[in-house]
Structure 1
Amino acid sequence: MDTDSHRSHADLLATYRRSCPSRTVIEVLANKWSLYVLAALRRSPGPLRFSQLRRLLDGVTQKMLTQTLRALERDGLVARTVYPTVPPRVEYSLTDLGHAAGELTTAIADWAVDHASRVHAARAAFDARPEEPSPL
């Protein structure tokens, strides 16, 4: 697919197809923990250890953080550096590609902070509506 910012409408629609290579990239980036990991690493002044990331990302399990970091590393967004110490020290940082993706995730996080009250108000209004009959 063309990297030009003026993609055709057909090219943009193709990204929704299962066969489109960009779809798997979008799926990794759209994962909630991927967004948080990329944003945390982007906002950090330096590399972070696994335990530091886990403390920052309230609610993430060890298994989910491991899976997320592996997926991001596999896609070239996160670099994993192992230091030969006892016990071994492992640090995670963003690659150049990860910095570019991190800009997007940080923008999403900033938007969420700026608009959370409006989203919560919309949810409350929706939840207060009378239930509509289900279609037959």
Structure 2
Amino acid sequence: MELNHLITSKFREIKSVLSAYLTQILPAYGISPIMMYTLEYLRKHPDSIAVDIANEFGLTRGAVTQLLDKLEEQNLVVRKPHPNSRRSLSLQVTDQGNELVNAILDAYNKKIEKLFANYSADELASLKQLLEKLPL
């Protein structure tokens, strides 16, 4: 049981470091973490509506409206009539939004890759194999 505790502690530490990396990178791109998370969510869930964002991130309707207004002002997201509901607006990431997310993820991945600079090819292969077994 002690080994499991050490492993879970290490995973929490990794999560903290990765979150800090993202927080360090985002100011150069002019967006906040919640804006980035929203863009990533919308890329994975096209045609989502505002309530989906509220439910996913535990935000109020007002907070979601302000968030979407900021994303729309920066031409990162567009609101369009929803194909199945006249009362809702579909949210879509723009080409500019996709380019921004790709640039951020590229910088983020490069920062993360520095964690593995001292690993051998065999160690990286073992780590990859173990991580692939995680039920994510």
Scaled by the length of structure 2, what TM-score is found?
0.50
Count of matched residue pairs: 88
1:4-83 to 2 correspondence within 5 Å? 26-27=29-30, 29=31, 31-44=32-45, 46-57=46-57, 59-83=58-82
Comparing both structures, which one devotes a greater share of its residues to helix?
A: 2
Contact kept? 1:38, 1:105, Cα under 8 Å: no
Q: 1:53 to 1:104 in 2, by over 3 A?
A: farther
Shift of 1:64: 1.8
Amino acid of the residue matched to residue 78 of structure 2? A
CA displacement, residues 23-76 of structure 1 (integer Å, 9 cap, x when unaligned): x9833x1x12201111101222x211111121222x322222111111111111
Q: Kindly report the root-mean-square deviation, in angstroms, between the aligned alpha carbons of the 2 structures.
A: 3.4
| Runs of at least 5 residues in structure 1 that lack an aligned partner in the other structure | 1-23, 115-136
In the aligned structure 2, how far is the partner of 1:93 from the partner of 1:77? Answer: 9
In the aligned structure 1, how far is the partner of 2:107 from the partner of 2:59? Answer: 19
Scaled by the length of structure 1, what TM-score is found?
0.50
In the aligned structure 2, how far is the partner of 1:84 from the partner of 1:36? Answer: 24
Amino acid of the residue matched to residue 99 of structure 1? N
Shift of 1:102: 2.4
| Runs of at least 5 residues in structure 2 that lack an aligned partner in the other structure | 1-26, 114-136
Percent identity of paired positions between Structure 1 and Structure 2: 21
